[in-house]
Amino acid sequence: MNNHETMPAAFTRDPDLEVPTAAMEQVIRDTAQPEQTYCLDATTLATNLLGNGMAVNLFCIGFAWQKGLIPLQQDSIEQAIALNGVAVKANLQAFLWGRRAAHDQQQVEAIALPQPDVQPVKLMPSLNDVISRETAHLTDYQNSALAQRYRKLIDQIQAAESELGRGQQLSLAVAENYSKILAYKDEYEVARQLSSEQFQRAAGSSVRR
């Protein structure tokens, strides 16, 4: 059974129309032998594998034949496809992919429906990330004593929040903003940043591009 859901024309008159896929599958299992009933989204598999939704019919035939549900020889089916003379190569491939799905459906689904290689995006830096970043920045801005002054206040805020069980929102806000108070952007800081190796590398890269 190809359980791919396609809305009928009645949807235009009934926007709340639902396709009772699960109920229909159960009726078929109750009527036929459950162990001889196979349900899969053949439309999506055939389309992704062969680039054409028309391949679904031969895909299903291949699946059913491999399961022993069609009392014909493989050669007979393939000869019929050839004699039909329409998209012979594609239909033979659809028949073959259906057989493969019957043999190892999970493997075929992995090929047809690959998982995107998406790395999780870190939207917000953690508190520890902010503290490390700003500590290094303050050390460069002036010296380690200023960085230690920054860390002392952050530690106090963290301890108070932890004692009250209020999470880390205040600690994160202070970690982000206290550094800005300690390292305000006067003309000396602007000069320091413009003469830094990091800025020089970035400027040189921009010039080369």
Give the model confidence (pLDDT) of 130-166 as tens digits: 999 999 989 988 899 999 999 999 999 999 988 888 7
Which residues of the chain, if any, have pLDDT below 50? 207-209
**How far apart, in whole angstroms, are the C-alpha atoms of residue 16 and residue 12?**
10
Q: What is the pLDDT of residue 98?
A: 96
Map residue 142 onto helix, strand or coil. Answer: coil
Q: What is the pLDDT of residue 121?
A: 63
Q: What is the pLDDT of residue 205?
A: 61
Q: What is the pLDDT of residue 207?
A: 47
Residue 122: how many CB atoms within 10 A of its CB? 8
Residue with tokens 């970690």: 175
Q: What is the pLDDT of residue 165?
A: 82
Q: What is the pLDDT of residue 206?
A: 54
- In the Cβ-directed half-sphere of 110, how many Cα atoms lie within 13 Å? 5
**How far apart, in whole angstroms, are the C-alpha atoms of residue 105 and residue 97?**
10
**Cα 2 to Cα 15, 43, 64, 72, 79, distances in angstroms:** 24, 7, 11, 21, 25
Q: What is the pLDDT of residue 122?
A: 61
Let me know: does 192 contact 141? Beta carbons within 8 Å.
yes
Q: What is the pLDDT of residue 204?
A: 75
**Which distant-in-sequence residues (6+ apart) come within 8 Å of 13 by Cβ?**
none
